[in-house]
Amino acid sequence: MAEAPRMPDECGVPEMDAYLHPVMKKNYGAWSWHDRPRPGVLHHVAKGGDEIWTVRAGTQRQMDVYTIRKLMDIADEFAEGFVRFTIRSNIEFMVSTEAQVNPLIEKLNAEGFPVGGTGNSVSMISHTQGWLHCDIPATDASGAVKSLMDELIGEYTKEEMPNRVRLTTSCCQINCGGQGDIAINIQHIKPPRIDHDQVANVCERPTVVARCPVAAIRPAMVNGKASLEIDEKKCICCGACFPPCPPMQINDSEHSNFAIWVGGKNSNARSKPTFHKLVASGIPNNPPRWPEVAAVVKKILSTYKEDAKDWERIGEWAERIGWPRFFEKTGLPFTKYHIDNWRGARANLNASTHIRF
């Protein structure tokens, strides 16, 4: 008898209940108040009187199995065996007595994991996959993050910024990193170079044509082979054609650089959510430590720390003093690339409601 076919094993995201600390499970939705006894520690008190302390530590995100085991051993020995990761790759340990907090912090520090990232600190950077996990990156977001946080560790372990500072990075212009007070994103500045020999073998041409947001790609015959051509006047160098068709070579050591954007915010607190704005571009993509990126980010952060009023986010500060003053104070050059005068969206963008993948 033929064996039954193997069925896909897809369970989706597991129910979280099994992984919640028992105090959190018991008091789910019944918390009364919370405070932060020190940077990196949250203290929650439930309506019924139960208390829980959460200790937050920074990780390098791309972790080998030995580092993960080390963190789990710390959780078992010092923290009642429960952890969770935040979206910014911080690890949080939960304990139900205050007496466990200091030994846990000492152990984490001794093992090289800084405790902090809460309140008005520079928390870990939410970032994209980089070379290890994605197939289209122009840089290694995770590496840039590790290098940058090595330099910003003093602002991670203290809460001395005017308000919280949330950074993001993205390793291509599709930007799955999202909005941030400071966003550090790769920016391509030239259209893709097409490897015509490969297109017919590798790409589904209609898919590639449909991907382009400004309809700049057309099918074409090149040297007798089915290929594609790009209207370079229309191309906005977004890189969206590269994932479905790697022969659309957009990554380039000279023309794929870092750009830094400022003033993005997801929350509704104090002011509306905002999009970030370009403040620096053409910064070299310079692994393994990306020192030029760090220099610009540190300059923006130190100016913000010195100049902003209490509780102003970076975008709110820039809006209050005005963007010309922002460039003056940070010393970043204002160039023609900062002027967004593109008015072609209505005529050029693929605005159809049909999804064509």
**Dihedral of CA 27/33/36/37: which sign?**
negative
Residue 116, both tokens: 């902090």
Residue 203, both tokens: 């790409």
Q: Is 332 in the site for ligand SF4 (CB under 6 A)?
A: no
Contact indicator for 287, 277 with CB cutoff of 8 Å: no
**Dihedral of CA 334/336/338/340: which sign?**
positive
The span of 105-113, 118-126, 133-141, 326-334 binding ligand SF4 (CB under 6 A) equals 133-141
The span of 147-155, 173-181, 290-298, 310-318 binding ligand SF4 (CB under 6 A) equals 173-181
- At 283, is the secondary structure helix, strand, or coil? strand
Among residues 40 and 137, whose Cβ is nearest to ligand SF4? Answer: 137
Residue 13 CA, distance from chain mean position: 21
Q: Is 235 in the site for ligand SF4 (CB under 6 A)?
A: yes
Among residues 6 and 354, whose Cβ is nearest to ligand SF4? Answer: 354
The DSSP bridge pattern shows strands 182-188 and 167-170 to be: parallel
The only residue of 52, 148, 184, 216 in contact with ligand SF4, by rule CB under 6 A = 216
Q: Is 145 in the site for ligand SF4 (CB under 6 A)?
A: no
Contact indicator for 60, 106 with CB cutoff of 8 Å: no
The only residue of 211, 265, 276, 313 in contact with ligand SF4, by rule CB under 6 A = 211
Q: Is 192 in the site for ligand SF4 (CB under 6 A)?
A: yes
Q: Is 129 in the site for ligand SF4 (CB under 6 A)?
A: yes
CB of 246 to ligand SF4, least distance (A): 12
The only residue of 104, 124, 152, 240 in contact with ligand SF4, by rule CB under 6 A = 240
Among residues 252 and 307, whose Cβ is nearest to ligand SF4? Answer: 252
Q: Is 227 in the site for ligand SF4 (CB under 6 A)?
A: no
Q: Is 172 in the site for ligand SF4 (CB under 6 A)?
A: yes
Q: Is 205 in the site for ligand SF4 (CB under 6 A)?
A: no
CA angle 315, 321, 326 (to 5 degrees): 70
Task: Report the 10 Å Cβ neighbour count for 210.
Answer: 18
Q: Is 203 in the site for ligand SF4 (CB under 6 A)?
A: no
Radius of gyration of the chain (CA): 24
| The one-letter amino acid at 130 | G
14: region left, alpha or beta (phi > 0 left; psi from -120 to 50 alpha):
beta
Q: In what order do the strands lie in the sheet with 83-85?
A: 31-38, 41-46, 51-58, 90-95, 83-85
Using the 8-state DSSP alphabet, how is residue 125 labeled?
P
Q: Is 285 in the site for ligand SF4 (CB under 6 A)?
A: no
Q: Is 162 in the site for ligand SF4 (CB under 6 A)?
A: no
Q: Is 238 in the site for ligand SF4 (CB under 6 A)?
A: yes
What are φ and ψ of residue 331, in 5° steps? 75, 10
CA angle 94, 98, 100 (to 5 degrees): 65
Q: Is 241 in the site for ligand SF4 (CB under 6 A)?
A: yes
CB of 183 to ligand SF4, least distance (A): 11
The span of 12-20, 69-77, 135-143, 335-343 binding ligand SF4 (CB under 6 A) equals 135-143
CB of 225 to ligand SF4, least distance (A): 19
Q: Map tokens 């053409």 to a residue.
A: 282
Residues near ligand SF4 (CB under 6 A) are: 128-129, 134, 136-137, 141, 170-172, 174-177, 191-192, 211-212, 214, 216-217, 230, 235-241, 248, 250
